Amino acid sequence: MNIKERLDNGFVELIVGDLITKNLMDKGNYLHVTMSVSGMFSRRTTDLGQQFLSFIKSPLN
């Protein structure tokens, strides 16, 4: 399955939904909307999400 097919069949929505459910990403409407430049670069992760990203970048630190 290529990227376009994944986007078309809800794959990204599934992933974002899972991240929100697991409290790794803030709740909000991020997909299929128009955003300002500042909104596009705003952090969407929770504190727990930031900790997880730090861990997977360097798990031994």
User: Could you tell me the residue ranges of all domains in the chain?
Assistant: 3-57
CB 47 within 8 A of CB 25: no
pLDDT at 3 over 80: no
pLDDT digits (tens, 9 = 90+) for 22-58: 999 999 887 778 888 988 888 899 999 999 999 999 8
For the stretch 1-8, contacts whose Cβ atoms lie closer than 8 Å and that sit 24 or more positions apart, written own/partner, are none
CA distance 1 to 7: 10
pLDDT over 70 at 1, yes or no: no
Phi/psi for 32 (5° steps) reads 60, 35
39/47 Cα distance (integer angstroms): 18
